[in-house]
């Protein structure tokens, strides 16, 4: 027995010794490389032909370092407006989206937010920004112009814009802006409530709770929680939102990392609002982080049907730490796990592919977990919906059209000639109005990049290299003739796909974000599927394994 004890002690000492040696080697590597970096910069500073800006050069070095970690780890050298907005959802400014207009070579107002200084003073989408406090901003990028528009809350500045060929001057007082994270909620069918949630910064839970309470008072017996395009935010807000639908004391999510003191288990802490009403959570590839905690935990608890397409797959947790000279480091400290025990992180940022992209875990290598009721779910690739609803495919023309100055200018011109339009959700274009749109875009000189022409060019190059071009030339020329763009013909051919983009653009100009969300529900494939699911409660229960 004594010999056995000695053997065990020797084994333990060997393991401890090996760990200590490994840690010592790790620390030595850190010290060596930091000394090398310090020496290199000193020699650059002394001998380089030009004088270097330390903040710029070392700042580049820091960002290059962080790019080797993951996309979510970042450094903010001082108290940073972006960091504050990211964590609180607040910033001080005028409350407006701006975009760059190539033809004007200036930033223009794209969307004044409702009940903000920009909307109250009368700024409109399409206003071309000429001067900010006397500074001509011609040729300035949107980030630089945004820097002028933002500032301390309570400060006033002069903004000169061009509208319809005339200059208008506004005196605007900046204020703290916090956009609603529930831009729209309402009854979309008899007994079906709908809540659109766009983020998880401070106050998200309160907004969702208020919306849910009011919808129940209005007679909602079923609910759609729309998390599509929601990039996430606070874990606490996500847990509290889950708590609206599940009892107190349930584990929603837990985090695990290298430092044990950062590990945490999150439980529901309050009495729920409703544990029985049928719930559908809508998700897509833009639903990430806290959105995946909400959708994934409700799925694991068999409390809601998840519908849409697979989510982004962000299972990493970040925290903000102070660094020297008032800087802040937002860094990944762990992974989160939802009730079934699965982590839904999809990307491996520590082992990149040959082209530099992050690899993903193939479905064949993911592990099976089980919901509370025994349904199979998997880790490693986002939240897979219980009911998949693929979005409608769109012609490539639409992507170029909607982002163009010509499309934006047509909407500005339309609004200048119409004081009002139909209520949100009821806006449609007449044949005459759509034909006017086609004529405007055709005459504007709008051009778009036809992918078929690109493929044809590649085919021609390959045929030339392989010696087939001469004999294939007649067929290639025939294809080229068929692929030649005709703007007006294409706009008429794809009216069904283009018209919703037009009405969305018009509605947000008249009814802001809340109106745009309401308008988009009209032809939403997911909403159509929700209607059929809620019409047959047996199907709903069957999906949840009940």
List the catalytic residues. 289, 314
What are the distances in angstroms from CA 232 to CA 70, 89, 281, 493? 17, 12, 14, 38
SS3 125: coil
- How does DSSP assign 318-343, residue by residue? EEEEEETTTEEEEEEEEEEE-TTS--
Bin 545: left if φ > 0, else alpha if -120 < ψ < 50, else beta. left
Query: What secondary structure does DSSP assign to 211-231, as a single string?
Result: HHHHHHHTT--EEEEE-TT--
Question: What's the rounded Cα separation, in Å, for the pair 416 and 513?
Answer: 20
Q: How far apart are the first and last CA of the chain?
A: 57
Looking at residue 390, the DSSP 8-state letter turns out to be P
Of 75, 111, 71, 175, nearest to 411 by C-alpha is: 111
Tokens of 87: 């964590």
Nearest residue to 125 via CA among 399, 500, 405:
405
Total Cβ atoms within 10 A of residue 76? 18
Q: DSSP class of residue 261?
A: G
Nearest CA-CA partner of 244 in 223, 230, 265, 227: 223
User: Which contacts (CB < 8 Å, 24+ apart) does range 411-414 have?
Assistant: 411/125, 411/126, 411/502, 411/505, 411/506, 411/509, 412/125, 412/126, 413/440, 414/506
Q: Which of these, 195, 198, 174, lies nearest to 186 by C-alpha position?
A: 195
- The radius of gyration computed from the CA coordinates of the chain, to the nearest angstrom, equals 28
| Calpha distance 329→505 (Å, rounded) | 38
Collapsing DSSP states into helix, strand and coil, what is residue 488? helix
- The order of strands in the sheet holding 279-283 is 184-189, 192-196, 222-226, 279-283, 305-308, 387-388
Burial of 356 (0-12, 13-18, 19+ CB in 10 A): exposed
With vertex at residue 285, the alpha carbon angle to CA 282 and CA 287, rounded to the nearest 5 degrees, is: 55
CA dist 105 and 107 (Å) reads: 7
Paired residues of 26 in beta bridges: none
- In this structure, the number of other CB atoms found within 10 A of the CB of residue 240 comes to 21
Count of CB atoms situated within 10 Å of the CB of 31: 10
Q: Which residues contact 148 (CB under 8 A, 6 or more apart)?
A: 132, 133, 135, 137, 157
Between helix 451-465 and helix 469-483 the angle, nearest 10°, is 170
């Amino acid at each position: 027995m004594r010999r056995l004890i000695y053997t065990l002690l020797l084994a333990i000492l060997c393991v401890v010794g090996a760990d200590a040696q490994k840690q010592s080697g790790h620390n030595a590597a850190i010290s060596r490389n930091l000394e090398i970096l310090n020496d290199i910069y000193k020699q650059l500073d002394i001998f380089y032909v030009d004088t270097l800006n330390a903040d710029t050069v070392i700042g580049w070095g820091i960002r290059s370092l962080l790019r080797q970690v993951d996309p979510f780890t970042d450094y903010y050298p001082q108290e940073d407006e972006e960091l504050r907005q990211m964590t609180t959802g607040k910033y001080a400014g005028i409350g407006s989206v701006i975009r760059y207009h190539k033809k004007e070579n200036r930033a223009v107002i794209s969307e004044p937010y409702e009940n903000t200084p920009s909307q109250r003073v009368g700024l409109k989408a399409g206003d071309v920004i000429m001067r900010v406090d006397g500074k001509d901003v011609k040729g300035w990028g949107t980030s630089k112009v945004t820097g002028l528009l933002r500032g301390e809350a309570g400060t006033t500045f002069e903004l000169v814009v061009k509208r319809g060929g005339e200059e208008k001057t506004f005196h605007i007082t900046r204020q703290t802006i916090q956009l609603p994270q529930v831009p729209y909620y309402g009854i979309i069918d008899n007994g079906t409530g709908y809540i659109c949630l766009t983020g998880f910064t401070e106050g998200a839970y309160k907004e969702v709770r208020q919306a849910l309470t009011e919808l129940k008072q209005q007679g909602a017996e079923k609910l759609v929680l729309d998390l599509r395009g929601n990039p996430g935010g606070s874990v606490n807000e996500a847990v509290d939102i889950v708590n609206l639908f599940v009892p107190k004391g349930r584990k929603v999510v837990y985090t695990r990392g290298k430092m044990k003191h950062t590990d945490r288990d999150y439980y529901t802490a309050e009495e729920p609002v409703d544990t029985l009403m049928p719930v559908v959570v809508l998700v897509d590839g833009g639903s990430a982080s806290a959105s995946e905690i909400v959708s994934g935990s409700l799925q694991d608890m068999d409390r809601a049907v998840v519908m849409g397409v697979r989510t982004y797959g962000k299972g990493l947790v970040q925290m903000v730490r102070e660094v020297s000279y008032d800087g802040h480091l937002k860094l990944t400290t762990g992974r989160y796990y939802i009730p079934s025990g699965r982590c839904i992180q999809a990307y491996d940022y520590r082992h990149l592919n040959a082209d530099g992209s992050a690899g993903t875990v193939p479905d064949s290598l993911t592990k099976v977990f089980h919901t509370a009721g025994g349904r199979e779910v998997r880790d490693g690739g986002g939240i897979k919906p219980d009911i998949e609803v693929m979005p409608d495919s769109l012609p490539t023309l639409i992507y170029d059209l909607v982002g163009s100055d010509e499309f934006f200018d047509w909407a500005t011109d339309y609004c200048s000639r119409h004081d009002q339009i139909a209520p949100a959700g009821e806006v449609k274009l007449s044949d005459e109005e759509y034909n006017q749109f086609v004529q405007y875009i055709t005459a504007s000189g709008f051009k778009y990049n036809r992918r078929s022409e690109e493929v044809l060019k590649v085919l021609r190059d390959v045929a030339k290299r392989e010696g087939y071009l001469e004999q294939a030339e007649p067929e290639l020329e025939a294809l080229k003739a068929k692929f030649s763009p005709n703007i007006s013909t294409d706009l008429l051919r794809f009216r069904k796909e283009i018209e919703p983009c037009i009405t969305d653009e018009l509605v947000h100009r008249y009814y802001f974000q809340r109106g745009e969300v309401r308008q988009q529900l009209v032809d939403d494939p997911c909403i159509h599927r929700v209607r059929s699911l809620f019409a047959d409660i047996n199907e709903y229960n069957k999906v949840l394994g009940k």
